[in-house]
Amino acid sequence: MVKAGVIGQELADKPLDFNFQRAARTDKAVSAVRQCCSMWLDLEKDANIDTVPSLINAQLPDDIRVMGLKRATKGFHCQKNCDSRTYSYTLPTFSFAPCVENTNMKFRISEEQLAEVNKLLGIYKGTHNFFNYTAKREHSDKSCFRYIISFECGKPFVYHDAVHGEVEFATIQIRGASFMLHQIRKMIGMVIAIMRGLANKSVIQKTWEEKRVDVPRAPGLGLMLEKVHYTTYDRKFSKTHATLDEWPECAAAIEEFREKCILANILKTEMKDNSMMNWLSVLLYHTYDGCEEGAPKPFCHAQHQINAANASESTENDKDTDAAERDDEKDDVTERKGIEGEGDSLVQADEGAKNVKAAIGER
């Protein structure tokens, strides 16, 4: 903004002096499509503000774009005036494969499985105490109550990768009044664990109670801030100021940027790094609803035995990672050390689980 001549260096050194604010914060490795910033700019009333975005974009890298600029009321605050926020999480559908099946990139989610995913996501709707889904918060902290408006997984789509061929993905959309650090990734992590048979459905309700529950945190790669909503502001000031909930004049450019710069990068990076497959291989080390720390569920005992050779070094590292999840000042940890390869050990573990299922009975 300084190089574009929009502000002076003195304001860049002290952003609060021109009331620079952002509507939402994101975790490390998380992208944003429609982030909104507010600020006071010294522009003439009749100045052509439509030229400002292009001036700033000329000084920015290609993966950061200013899409539009609008005048707002003098007291507008993009964070405080925001009614709700919509995020999306894109992930390979093999994440939801039961652990008694081979988990690989040929997996295709069934309509019944997708319906079950949406039933689990629907449990989170409404107001609940999410202290178990963030760090450094206690159950008594009233700020842990958050309101979830909608939470749904869309229809799967197929992505073609040069190495792995066709891989099925799905996108989960969640809208809420506000979210805490890691909250969305932990909600999705818990749903994945239940779908894979590592935790009971009832554990979701338990996470809202006083007892501390070990909730797994899904990788950050697939998470994206989709939109910030200003419904109340628009209702009050739409007759005198431009609306902020919708930006039709740049909607096409935003969608193109989302598809080509953000979503394409998420899919490509997932195929290259196998972040979800690697994360799935350590899910069974979470305690969920009360097992001794580090002890797998009986249902997945064969998985634990087979994975032990490849993950012997990861046990201590895993404990360190769990501690890191409760500290929002630590670096974001999405992969556990000691788990190597592209999911071969996970497939072997799934085969082992099949062999013991008959002996231990249904959960």
Binding residues: 87
CA dihedral 297, 134, 342, 306 (to 10 degrees): -20
Active site residues: 27
Half-sphere exposure of 22 (CA within 13 A, CB side): 9
Annotated binding site for substrate: 87
Closest CA to 327 of 112, 120, 137: 137
Token readout for 45 is: 């009333």
CA–CA dist 82, 34 (Å, integer) = 13
Asked whether 328 and 136 are in contact (CB, 8 A), the reply is yes
Instruction: Please name the residue that has the structure tokens 């190495």.
Output: 163
Token readout for 190 is: 């818990």
Token readout for 236 is: 């009050």
CA–CA dist 260, 85 (Å, integer) = 22
Asked whether 153 and 118 are in contact (CB, 8 A), the reply is yes
CA–CA dist 219, 348 (Å, integer) = 23
- Maximal C-alpha separation, the chain: 78
Half-sphere exposure of 36 (CA within 13 A, CB side): 27
Residue partners of 346: CB distance under 8 A and separation at least 6? 103, 277, 280, 281, 307
